[in-house]
Amino acid sequence: MTVLCNSSFQRATFFLTGFQGLEDLHGWISIPFCFIYLTVILGNLTILHVIHTDATLHEPMYYFLAMLALTDLGLCLSTLPTVLGIFWFDAREIGMPACFTQLYFIHTLSLVESSVLLSMSIDRYVAICNPLRYSTVLTPARIVKMGLSSVLRSALLILPLPFLLKRFQYCRSHVLAHAYCLHLEIMKLACSSIIVNHIYGLFVVACTVGVDSLLIFLSYTLILRTVLSIASCQQRFRALNTCVSHVCAVLLFYIPMIGLSLVHRFGEHLPRTVHLLMSYVYLLVPPLMNPIVYSIKTKQIRQRIIKKFQFVKSLRCFCKD
């Protein structure tokens, strides 16, 4: 009976991994992670608050930025419980339902971010290449449809993954390589054929991230062609300057993704710590850096944030007096 219970428990549980060999330092390692998570939450909430409260920012560009901040916030919160749980409480066990739920949200939100970046590139294309039709093309109703279609596409494409994983028997080690659940890692632990998961995973990546990246590249090709046709160098600079923040966001999303993919496929000889760090870079750097980039490079956002801080500071001085 005990063996049966243990066997049932084993099948229903996975074990997450922190920094192996550095378990005694997990308390110290948690400090930068806490700082990163806190910065991500505060930064993205600040962006959302500024856009929500300032009527002058109720424009398509800032609506898409709000979508990006919401996605980054969700991606951060989906990994926070298990990552900090390992560092603080050595809570390595995670049940299959919780693991598959986390996996679903991580992959869905990653695809949503790719879609939002594509929507932002369309916004920049219309603003630069067809400015006279900007307000008629990107209407509030169309922006809502673009946002909903991004979420629905991602959610529906990722939905089969937990069910495809649930049908497997996991007769190998249940130890995952990361502090959170990912489809690729769980799939490798199955003791039956995973060819369907491989094919479907490639299909999802190709028709989302693959298509999005090609369309983003195409939009910037058209933007560059339009900008180079402008006679005034000053106007060229102004037009390109409006794209800097978005280009940075695109690079922050795609470079870590490509790096993690290369490490998984060709870096088997690399230390496990490198794999862990790359996975954290992929999931934490874009949500961390996007609010910083937009706060620095977007004048309107920067000015509103400074005004907010000045107001809070003056309010505190008034209360002391």
93: left (phi over 0), alpha (psi -120 to 50) or beta: beta
Is the separation of the CB atoms in 290 and 72 below 8 Å?
Answer: yes
Residue 250 backbone phi and psi in degrees, to 5: -65, -45
Q: Which two tokens stand for residue 104?
A: 């679903």
Task: Fill in the DSSP letter of residue 175.
Answer: B
Q: What is the pLDDT of residue 1?
A: 35
Residue 172 backbone phi and psi in degrees, to 5: -90, -170
| 70-119 residue pLDDT tens | 999 999 999 999 999 999 999 999 999 999 999 999 999 999 999 999 99
Is the separation of the CB atoms in 59 and 50 below 8 Å?
Answer: no
The structural architecture, per CATH, of the domain 14-301 is Up-down Bundle (1.20)
| 107-142 residue pLDDT tens | 999 999 999 999 999 999 999 999 999 999 999 999
Instruction: Please report the sign of the dihedral spanned by the C-alpha atoms of residue 57, residue 63, residue 68, residue 74.
Output: positive
Distances (CA, A) of 211 to 125, 138, 149: 17, 21, 15
Q: Is 165 helix (H, G, I), strand (E, B) or coil?
A: helix
**Spatial distance between the Cα atoms of 169 and 34, rounded to a whole number of angstroms:** 36
pTM attached to this predicted model: 0.92
